Amino acid sequence: MRIAIAGATGNIGRPTSDALERAGHDVVRISRSLGIDLTTGAGLEEALRGADAIIDVTNATAADSAEAVRRFGTSTRNLLAAGERAGVRHHVLLTIVGLHRVEGNAHYAGKREQERLVESGPLPWTIVPATQFHDFAEMVASWTEHDGVATIPPLLVQPIAPADVGKILAEIAVGVPQGRHVDLAGPQTQDLVDMARRTHQARGRTVRLVPTWSGVFGPAMAGDVLLPGDGARIAPTTFEDWLSQQH
């Protein structure tokens, strides 16, 4: 099959592309760095020509909810419209577990807009909610790290390995559209502060972590809000296994 991946050069796009190519599929990488711009639609028509499926693992940064909704909305509309013109038969969107239980987070508002557009759009679809990735804690700590100190929210998560997400997305994309897929999650529940500490330790770094609900992750995300629902698909790679592979 010929499968286009929007966000192909990112954290999830790379392992998804690799999994599809290992299975013998023709992968079309869509990324601004490769000359294809979802914001303007430039290069999309040619990229999607002959594609059987699209996997959307794009990301966007925004200062507030309105900007996030606009950015995610624009790129998703362009992708869906170009996919319809190309005769694409399956649109797969990666989204976030717990998305509809959290208000006030700009990124989540943008992702909800993506889901809304895909659900009401012209292409048969599968929406795949996943928990946070194993490298999430280190990334969040990096946002505020200064002089060896970083703040981090004490989130309860059940993280999943990016490579596992890529394999599952590849599997879903070559199948029939499923509508809303069950949640994807890793095998163990973790505390984000502890994850960040252990990741820094594995990399030989010393960072003093200050747990706080200030910032983009507020108390609305406390407790089991970000954990997968019943019947979730559990990926095999533990956080410890992932850590052991980092250099």
Write down the CATH number for the domain with range 2-244. 3.40.50.720
Ordered per-residue pLDDT tens for the chain, 247 residues: 999 999 999 999 999 999 999 999 999 999 988 899 999 999 999 999 999 999 999 988 888 899 999 999 999 999 999 999 999 999 999 999 999 998 888 999 999 999 999 999 999 999 999 999 999 999 999 999 999 999 999 999 999 999 999 999 999 999 999 999 999 999 999 999 999 999 999 999 999 999 999 778 888 899 999 999 999 999 999 999 999 987 6
CA–CA gap between residue 196 and residue 46 (Å, rounded): 42
pLDDT score of 247: 66
Query: What are the sequence ranges of the domains in the chain?
Result: 2-244
pLDDT score of 55: 98
**Axis-axis angle for helices 162-173, 13-22 (nearest 10):** 50
Q: What is the CA radius of gyration of the chain?
A: 18
Question: b/e for 76-95, b at 16 or more Cβ within 10 A?
Answer: bbbbbbbbeebebebbbbbb
